[in-house]
């Protein structure tokens, strides 16, 4: 696990450190009586690509649910731009500030790629002038052509569906992108292409948080946080 500065905005020399866009403060989480996450404190900054790595069952997807406000920690706090998300409107947080790429994509398969992205813009409530044009531009930016953008999702390949899911997560221009095993079902070449898209988003200033069990994916990220499976009492 790499050490990074926490809870600091300036060092002794007075140099400024970026305030993390998202941070976990001593969070723990259990499903009923099954503890999954214990006392985690991680910081996430804009402009960087993070990988949360850990074995299957270590709690990666659970952590992603907490980071995206879909579940709440039992103890500890999650801060977005310094404010606890437990005290803010989670719906607004989820539909404006954070974009999630789910492991199973969760796309509406009978809709076209373009319709999926436009629908996400509609739901977010964020004002966007020409939704169709922006959706098409986003889909093209992740490597789909016009014909593919207008095709029903069901008729797209796994790699193409992954791109649609990324474009949808970007639809309302959130500052944080979370992706659960984004290259899990892809061949190596497509994995490389998808990782390039995420790298580009971090370079544009977004905070990109990937969850993966792949050492190869982790190696491509700026910062790695490892989750250990916690010992449970039998
Ligand atoms: N809804 C749930 N109810 C009860 N236990 C769960 C639930 N979801 C996940 N778990 C358990 O929590 C642990 C962590 O799961 P998960 O976060 O999916 O791990 P990972 O994504 O790292 O594979 C596992 O032991 C899993 O069985
Ligand atoms: Mg998982």
Q: How far is CA 148 from CA 31, 37, 114, in A?
A: 40, 40, 9
Q: Helix, strand, coil proportions of the chain in percent (round to 5)?
A: 35, 25, 40
Domain spans of the chain, in order of start: 22-226
What are 156-181's pLDDT values in tens digits?
999 999 999 999 999 999 999 999 99
Residue 224 pairs in a beta bridge with: 51
Give, using CA atoms, the residue closest to atom 7 of ligand 1.
31
Return the CA Rg of the chain: 18
**184 band by pLDDT with thresholds 50, 70 and 90:** confident
CATH of 22-226, one of 3.10.440.10, 3.40.50.300, 1.10.1520.10, 3.40.50.2300: 3.40.50.300
Q: Given the CA of residue 59, which atom of ligand 1 is nearest to it?
A: 17
Asked if 26 and 40 count as a contact pair (C-beta separation under 8 A), the reply is yes
Look up the pTM and report it: 0.89
Measured in angstroms, how far is the CA atom of residue 132 from the centroid of ligand 1? 37
What are 100-152's pLDDT values in tens digits?
999 888 999 999 999 999 999 999 988 889 999 999 999 999 999 999 999 99
- Residue 211: in which H helix or E strand, if any? strand 207-212
Q: DSSP assignment, residue 10?
A: B
DSSP letter for each residue of 107-176: --TTSBHHHHHHHHHHHHT---S-HHHHHHHHHHHTT--HHHHTSBGGGS-HHHHHHHHHHHHHTT--SE
Could you say which ligand is closest to the alpha carbon of residue 31? 1
């Amino acid at each position: 696990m790499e050490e990074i500065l926490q809870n600091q905005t300036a060092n002794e020399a007075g140099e400024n450190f970026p305030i993390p866009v998202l941070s976990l403060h001593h969070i723990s989480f259990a499903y009923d009586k099954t503890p999954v996450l214990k006392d985690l404190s991680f910081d996430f900054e804009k402009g960087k690509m993070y990988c949360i790595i850990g074995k299957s069952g270590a709690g990666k997807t659970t952590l992603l649910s907490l980071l995206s406000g879909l579940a709440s920690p039992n103890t500890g706090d999650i801060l977005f731009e310094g404010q606890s998300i437990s005290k803010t409107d989670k719906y607004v947080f989820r539909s404006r500030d954070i974009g999630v790429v789910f492991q199973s994509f969760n796309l509406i398969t009978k809709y076209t790629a373009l319709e999926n992205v436009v629908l996400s813009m509609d739901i977010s409530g964020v004002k966007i002038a020409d939704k169709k044009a922006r959706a098409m531009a986003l889909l093209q930016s992740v490597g789909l052509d016009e014909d593919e953008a207008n095709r029903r999702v069901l008729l797209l390949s796994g790699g193409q569906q992954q791109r649609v899911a990324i474009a949808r997560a970007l639809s309302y221009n959130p500052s944080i992108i979370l992706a659960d095993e984004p290259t899990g079902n892809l061949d190596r070449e497509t994995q490389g292409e998808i990782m390039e898209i995420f790298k580009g988003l971090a370079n544009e200033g977004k905070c990109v948080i990937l969850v993966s069990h792949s050492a190869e994916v982790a190696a491509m990220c700026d910062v790695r946080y490892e989750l250990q499976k916690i010992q449970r009492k039998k």
